[in-house]
C-alpha cells in the first residue's frame, strides 16, 4: 500500500490526513492490504498522555501469557447482586 506520493505506507507511521479542507494528525494502524487501501488513524492531540515505555507491555506478549482472551462481542449479561444476609 502506498501514499499518494508513492511512499510505502506502514503500520505506526505518523501521518497527516487531509480531506474536505480539514487535516488531522495521527498514527496509521489496521492497514487493510487486501482492500482498497483503507486504514485506521489513531488521532493524536496536544493532550495525549506521555508514558514510560518500560511501564508498557506489547500486546503480543500479553496474548502469549493468556490462555484465551474473551470475545468482547459476546455479552456477559447483568451481574446478579449478592443478597446473602450475614
List the chain domain ranges. Answer: 14-65
- What pLDDT score was predicted for residue 82? 57
- What pLDDT score was predicted for residue 48? 83
pLDDT above 80 for 83: no
- What pLDDT score was predicted for residue 70? 58
Q: Where are the strands (E) in 1-86, listed by range?
A: 14-19, 22-29, 40-43
Among the listed ranges 28-37, 59-68, 69-78, which one has the minimum average pLDDT value?
69-78
Residue 28's CB: how many other CB atoms inside 10 A? 19
Q: β-strand 22-29 against 40-43: which pairing, if any?
A: antiparallel
Q: What is the mean pLDDT of residues 18-26?
A: 88
| Global confidence as pTM | 0.57
What are the pLDDT digits (tens) for 37-53?
889 999 988 888 887 87
Amino acid at each position: 500500500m502506498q501514499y499518494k506520493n508513492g511512499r510505502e505506507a506502514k503500520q505506526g507511521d505518523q501521518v497527516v490526513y487531509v480531506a474536505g479542507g480539514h487535516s488531522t494528525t495521527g498514527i496509521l494502524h489496521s492497514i487493510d492490504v487486501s482492500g482498497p487501501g483503507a486504514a485506521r488513524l489513531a488521532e493524536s492531540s496536544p493532550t495525549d498522555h506521555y508514558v514510560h515505555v518500560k511501564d508498557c507491555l506489547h500486546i503480543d506478549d500479553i496474548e502469549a501469557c493468556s490462555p484465551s482472551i474473551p470475545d468482547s462481542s459476546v455479552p456477559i449479561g447483568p451481574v446478579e447482586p449478592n443478597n446473602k444476609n450475614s
